[in-house]
Each structure stands twice: as C-alpha cells, then as structure tokens.
Structure 1
C-alpha cells in the first residue's frame, strides 16, 4: 500500500479476497505471497477466522513481570520515543511481544488503548500465527522478517479494521529472534512509512542490546577476570581438573581465555552450568557467576574450567567420520573405531549439515526438518541428542560439522564429475535418504539421481543401462529401458527380458 491508496476501497477489495480465500481460492492477484502463505499456515493450524480476537494466555500482571525480566526492557526509552513521534498524532499503539508472540508491553493514547483492548491488543495476549492467524507480530515471527498487515490481510475478521507494522528483534550474541516490535492502529492511521519507522526502531533496539552486552562483558572482565590467573573458583576453591581457562557471557560467548582454541568461540551452556564443550571436542566445566536476578544488577556469566580434554574437533589427529547415506533412511556412521546407527531424524540432520558446510541456525534447521510449524527448541533438542551420539563432531551457533565427513553421496558425485560413470553406479545402492522430505535433502537426492541417470543415458552402454534398471532409482525408467532394447541385438540373451520389461512399463494397467 502506498501513500496514494484509497484505504477504504483497498480494504473492501481485500475483504472480498479474504472471503474467496476462506472458500478455497488461491493465487489471487490482490493477495501478496507472504499473506497467502500465512493464510495457509493459519488454516492448517485450525485458527477460526470468525472466532474472535487473540487468546489471553497469561495475566497482565504476569506479562508485566516477564517484561521486567526481559532483555528487551532496555529498549523502553526507544519505545517511548517512537510513541511520542507517532502515537498521539497517528492514533496508534506501540507494543512488544516475546519470541512466542505473547504481548509483554503496550502503550499509547488512552482512547486508542481502549479500542485495542477490544481486540485483545493487551498484555498477556498471544499473537503467534498458530494462535491468532495472520497478523503483523505473529507473521513477522513466523517469516523471520518485518512486514505490514493491512485490514483483511489479517486472517481473523475481528482485526479487519486495523493495520499493523512489525519487525523482529534479534539477540546480538546468538542471532536468534527474542521478540517483535509493532506499531498498530485503526485503518485511518495506515501509512507505508509506519513499517520503516518500526524497522528503524528495531535496529536501534538491537544496537542498545549490543551496548548492554558489551557493558556486561566489561563488568565480567573487571569482576572475575582475575580468576583466570588465580586458578580458583567461587569462594576461593580450586578444581581438581585444572585451572580456570576462560570467562564467558550468559549467552556462552568467550570474552577472555588463556586457551587460544577457545578465543572467539561460543559454547552451549545450560542455565545452571555444568559439563560443556563437547561440540568442540573438549571436556570443560562451566561455573555460574553471580545471581541472574540480583537487584544490584550483578553481571551473569560463567567461569570455564578445564576438566581434561580430548583432541580438538577437526584438529590435527582427529579422525574423520564416514557416513553411509545412500539407499537407506537410517545412516550408518563410522566414528573412529566404532559404528553408530543413527535414527531417521538424526540421519537427516547429519545429511543437512553435510549439505550446508557454512552451518544452519536452529530456525532454519527446524524449517528443514519440520516445515513451517517447526519450532527451533525441538530442533535444538534433536541436535543435543545427536551431539551425544557423535561427541566432538558438531559445533553450535550455527550448527556445523567440526570433523571431516566422508560420505557415499559425495563420493558418487566426485566419480560422476570425473567421468567414471561405472564406478559411480557401482557405489550407488539407491537414493539419498529416500524417506526424507527435508527440502535440502530432496534437492540433493534429485540432483544426484538426475546426474547419474543423464550420464548413463548419454554414455549409452548396455551394461550400464541394465545395471541402472536394476537400481531402485532406475527400475521404472521407461527411457532407459527403451535405450537398452535399442542397444541389444537379436542375439543378445538379455533382449527378451528387456522387451518384456518395456511392455510392462508401458502397460496402461500399471
């Protein structure tokens, strides 16, 4: 919507499109792709478009208490400034939801707040897509980017008189979305510049979070840095496994270290501390520092102790992994002197990490594994189990392989690239993780199948064609069967069977 758009006319157009969409219409020119996809997700989540406003999931008092503990609270001066700029003149409210879409903070003119409450734009309401359908806050969280939702672009009819602009806010340490900022008002307040204002405010909030993170890191260094040299834990106690070697933030970022292998790294550290470092092939202990809820603002972080170590992941002497991924749904991994049979899900994760050497964040991994409704927390739990099965092989932030991996998929691709088609086919027992629906795996599976098939058809050897037709990927290949029949003369004993197979493949009864 641009500044010259007749808001009421466009709202009527969208309402008609919304009615057609609920009746099953697709590919409507009036409906943006991001909205159409969100409507589909909302329908699959069984959100009732006529069922009223967003649900209230916690009390206003609990939401206020969560806001007091939220890292986003440092942004309140920015929110007040945004409200001062647009709130009174624009008759809009400014609000913040957490990463689950639960509203923790809202403010605006009293009259606008009263109208907002009528559609549950209030503390404690849940605006995730699976709770409230398409809306700026929930859809920004689901899609991972900012957007404006106008009138009947909302899935719920109760919100059709409103327009909302929202932008996600990300943690500067982990890169994960920790909340969403939104500017909402009734239709008369709609303006294309609203989205730009919200995006600018979200970036300012992230800048404030970076400053706060740097201040906490400096306070940690000042208060606890001496322990790296003193070799004592909290209360002056020593540790049997060795001296303190690093100081980390609450997000696991190493800000000081006597060990060059840890500098600049990030560890996955539980809230309560404990054993860490397996993703780097290290055996370490994280000791919590300070009281996270202390009223004096005592900085939280961790002192890292060496409790013995193995070879660094991916370092000199580290043995590569060997994975069998073709023709099976459950990968078999040779890890040093042992063989590990992975579950289907863990096989998918290992394959995805092999296909994305730059690494995958929890959100992208969840999308690959579970589709649009995948939750990062579920992906993290699976990663944690896989890392226990393959210690030292997978690092975090983003998740990536830290040991060299050789697998049969890449070997077949290399043989094809070298023109060694017969060897490639001999090492190809079947498709890559045939039961997986993860988009990256599906793409790699199709690419390998197509590449091998095209090479065999182009080479034209009867032996290769016959072998391809015996392979699970080629057993129903009509074109390959025709090519085989054409290459076998009448004296070849294989020709009758090839002709019979071709007739069966062409039979309409199949």
Structure 2
C-alpha cells in the first residue's frame, strides 16, 4: 500500500478542526502499528521514530525540574541570544500577541529562557509546562517546535497531533534554529506557539525570516567588535617585529603582522596568558589585550605532529574533534556541516575527490566549490592533518570515530545522501 504524507498546511488552511482530527487518527494508527494510506510528513515521521526508540511516553507528558531563577539569569547573561532579543521582539512579539501566539526563545539545550506575547496564551502554555526554565528537548517532551529544530537544524512547524505527546495535541508551534553566523554553531531556537486554531501557513516562513535577521544582527555585532579590537591592536603590532596577531576570545583575527592573514586560529577552551602551543602557529607567547589576545610566535621548532584524532559524534547536538600528540591535546567543537565532512572522510581512509564529496553531501557532483570552501575552513583548525588530491586524513595519524549507541541517531540533522544511507543501514563502519 502506498502511503501519502499529509499536506498539513493545505488542510489546516481550509479547516483546522478537520485537519486536527485527521492527524489524530493518523497518529493513533502510526503508534499502534496499524496500516493506513496516510503517513506523517518526513520530518515528523523521523521525529516520531526517534521518540519511540528513546522511550518517550506518548500518553503522558514529562515535566523535568525547572531551572532556578539564578540559573536562568546566568544562562541569559552568557547567551549570545541576549544581543538579538530586540530584533526578535520587533519581528515577532507584536504580531504574535495580536494573533494569540507567544514567542519563546530557548538555548541550544532546549531550555526556555524567554517567553513573551499574549497573556491568555501564556497561561495556556503554563498548563502544558511550557514555562521559563523548562526543558523542551525532543527527547524529553517529544516532537515539538523547540526540540525538533534543535535536532534537525532547520525550521519546523508542528501542528496538533503531529506532537508526539497526546497532551500537546491542542497546540501548534513553529520554531527555527538560530546559529552563530561565524561558524554555524547552534546557539538557540526561536518559536511561535499558540492554540491549534491559530495555525497559519505563512508562520513557518515568518519565523524563519526573523531568525535569519537575528543571525544577520549577530554578524554585524561580530564585525563591529573586531573593528574595535583592531583599533587597539594595530598600534601595538606596529611596534613589534616578527610574526604576531591580535585575535578575539574565540580566535577570530582582528589584525596581523609579519604573516599571512587568516580569519581564525584555533584556541584552547581555557586559554590563559603565557607560553602556549597553538595548533596553527606552534609555540607562542599569549598576552591579554582589550577583549582579546595578543599572540606572538616564538619561532622555535614546532613539536612533533599529532598522532591521534578523535571525532566524537556520539553526543546529541554536540560534535567535536580532539587532536592529541606529544605537544598536548586540544578540542574543537564542530558545526553540523563540518561534522558531516569529517565523518565522510573518516569513512574513506583512501580519500575522496571534491566531486565525490559533493555527491556524498548534496547528491550533486558539480557542487565542488561549496565542498572546497568548507574544507578550507576545516583546514584552519586541522591544518596539516588533512591532505588533498584527494581529500583525506594524513597518513600515520590514528583516527577514532565515536558513534551514537544507535546508528539511526547518527547526525540526525543531516540530509547528506551518504549520511542518510549510513543511518539507514544501521551498521555504520
């Protein structure tokens, strides 16, 4: 029997109540294993599969402990999202209030840090446990407009019984991830939610566009901060000889002297002043300067290269690469795209051409420009540990890949054909 995904948007636009009933019937059939001619949309069906494998109870919601007010304040102060709240409010809150919605902003862990909008809808959200400090991860409360975008890294609208947990079926929510425009790292989710009768087909595009405006604002703030640091650092470098550069706390370059410009260097997470070995530069002297670091190379022989690289894909939404050797070890958090690329290279020790990687990533061997650009960014922190023609890890380096306990949970955000095949095979090399 051919199963056809329900066109939720089209059906709900005509008759939201009927759409909710159809979805409820489809959900009951899907969870009981009955055969039906209707199927959930792929993004919803895949989420339901994750819920069933992880043991989320579809009949009872689970309300974990809320964060304390002190912890909420701490997370707010440390979150880059605090810088774009005005943009989010301007783009969402006034319309959401009029349309009987609320705006919710959560961090990368799915914890609700801000809620604003219709007071009546806020009270209804309270009844669902959709409170400040609540844990709204998909693995905790099921398919929803906060936790599911965290997993799949793209905007998602969840309507009525598309929610995995029955008690949320009176709700509609639309969420979009907000990523750090510098490196693609997830920093949070913005969501617009309300009673199911408030569902509108344009909401997904609306929320996504506001999330992109927030990312553009973060990019502007980053460039402005580098300009301020450059104004302080350029006169300092003008008095120095040898190779030196000024970077911000995350390693982004403000100005250099005596060496080619590179947009970013890898820094240890807990960098402190003194003589330090940095992956891209070797032995250096590091000094605090304004809101960043003055880094001067020691021009001494670089310690022997690393001998072990660990690619950790086992933690949900937190992927990293750790390089270890006689010079010490360092860890770099990976963006979704870089986690895909390094996984594909680890699968093929003999290497892949740019066209082959483009086929693996996009199903289109012509997209070599995108692949080369991304690998150029990877080389900023892995440097000499990657070869090209073909692209591969350097010979003699030991590679270990840490995978999820269930191969079907491998990089769940990824739509790369090669990763999708690896997930489906349930036997990842």
Q: TM-score, normalised by structure 1?
A: 0.60
Shift in CA distance, 59/304, structure 1 to aligned 2, threshold 3 Å? same
Which of the numbers 76, 81, 84 marks the counterpart of 1:75?
A: 84
Which of the numbers 274, 295, 298 marks the counterpart of 1:304?
A: 295
In structure 1, the residue corresponding to 2:14 is in which secondary structure? coil
Counterparts of 1:284 and 1:89 in 2: how far apart (Å)?
A: 57
* C-alpha displacement of 1:283: 2.4
Shift in CA distance, 376/110, structure 1 to aligned 2, threshold 3 Å? closer
What is the CA deviation profile of residues 271-325 of structure 1, one whole-angstrom value per residue up to 9, with x for unaligned ones? 44367664336223443445xxxxxxxxx3222121344469xxxxxxxxxxxxx
Report if the CA contact (8 A) 2:283-2:302 is conserved: no
The structure where helix makes up a greater share of residues is 1
Q: Report what 1:249 is aligned to.
A: 248
Q: Report what 1:283 is aligned to.
A: 283
Counterparts of 1:253 and 1:39 in 2: how far apart (Å)?
A: 40
Relative contact order, CA 8 A, sep 6+: which one is greater?
2
Report if the CA contact (8 A) 1:55-1:132 is conserved: no
* C-alpha displacement of 1:226: 2.7
Shift in CA distance, 310/142, structure 1 to aligned 2, threshold 3 Å? farther
Shift in CA distance, 285/440, structure 1 to aligned 2, threshold 3 Å? farther
Which of the numbers 325, 329, 342 marks the counterpart of 1:388?
A: 325
Report if the CA contact (8 A) 2:242-2:258 is conserved: no
Counterparts of 2:92 and 2:180 in 1: how far apart (Å)?
A: 23
Shift in CA distance, 13/408, structure 1 to aligned 2, threshold 3 Å? closer
Shift in CA distance, 198/56, structure 1 to aligned 2, threshold 3 Å? farther
Shift in CA distance, 206/443, structure 1 to aligned 2, threshold 3 Å? closer
Counterparts of 1:215 and 1:410 in 2: how far apart (Å)?
A: 40
* C-alpha displacement of 1:243: 6.5
In structure 1, the residue corresponding to 2:48 is in which secondary structure? helix
Counterparts of 2:331 and 2:65 in 1: how far apart (Å)?
A: 40
Note if 1:201 corresponds to 2:200. no
Give the number of aligned pairs: 347
Which of the numbers 132, 147, 160 marks the counterpart of 1:138?
A: 147
The structure where strand makes up a greater share of residues is 2
Q: Which has the larger radius of gyration?
A: 1
In structure 2, the residue corresponding to 1:185 is in which secondary structure? strand
* C-alpha displacement of 1:217: 0.9
Note if 1:375 corresponds to 2:384. no
* C-alpha displacement of 1:214: 1.2
For structure 2, the 5+ residue unaligned runs are 1-8, 353-398, 411-416, 423-429
What is the CA deviation profile of residues 318-355 of structure 1, one whole-angstrom value per residue up to 9, with x for unaligned ones? xxxxxxxxxxxxxxxxx98x9x6x6xx84xx5xxxxxx
Report if the CA contact (8 A) 1:99-1:179 is conserved: yes
Q: Report what 1:100 is aligned to.
A: 109
Counterparts of 1:53 and 1:65 in 2: how far apart (Å)?
A: 25
In structure 1, the residue corresponding to 2:211 is in which secondary structure? helix
Report if the CA contact (8 A) 1:287-1:304 is conserved: yes
Counterparts of 2:279 and 2:317 in 1: how far apart (Å)?
A: 18
What is the CA deviation profile of residues 113-153 of structure 1, one whole-angstrom value per residue up to 9, with x for unaligned ones? 11111112221001111111111111101001111000111
Shift in CA distance, 79/264, structure 1 to aligned 2, threshold 3 Å? closer
Q: TM-score, normalised by structure 2?
A: 0.70
Counterparts of 2:149 and 2:103 in 1: how far apart (Å)?
A: 15
Shift in CA distance, 443/76, structure 1 to aligned 2, threshold 3 Å? closer
Q: Report what 1:165 is aligned to.
A: 174
* C-alpha displacement of 1:15: 1.3
What is the CA deviation profile of residues 143-167 of structure 1, one whole-angstrom value per residue up to 9, with x for unaligned ones? 0111100011111112111111111
Written as runs of structure 1 = structure 2, the 5 A alignment for 1:174-323 is 174-231=183-240, 245-273=244-272, 278-280=278-280, 282-290=282-290, 300-310=291-301
Shift in CA distance, 410/164, structure 1 to aligned 2, threshold 3 Å? closer
Counterparts of 1:90 and 1:9 in 2: how far apart (Å)?
A: 21
Counterparts of 1:38 and 1:59 in 2: how far apart (Å)?
A: 29
Shift in CA distance, 82/309, structure 1 to aligned 2, threshold 3 Å? same
Report if the CA contact (8 A) 1:53-1:156 is conserved: no
Written as runs of structure 1 = structure 2, the 5 A alignment for 1:445-484 is none
Report if the CA contact (8 A) 1:173-1:251 is conserved: no
* C-alpha displacement of 1:75: 1.5
Q: Report what 2:366 is aligned to.
A: none
Q: Report what 2:383 is aligned to.
A: none
In structure 1, the residue corresponding to 2:279 is in which secondary structure? helix
Report if the CA contact (8 A) 1:280-1:393 is conserved: no
Which of the numbers 52, 69, 75 marks the counterpart of 1:66?
A: 75
* C-alpha displacement of 1:55: 2.5
Q: Report what 1:19 is aligned to.
A: 28
Counterparts of 1:24 and 1:408 in 2: how far apart (Å)?
A: 41
Counterparts of 1:198 and 1:442 in 2: how far apart (Å)?
A: 27
Counterparts of 2:45 and 2:263 in 1: how far apart (Å)?
A: 42
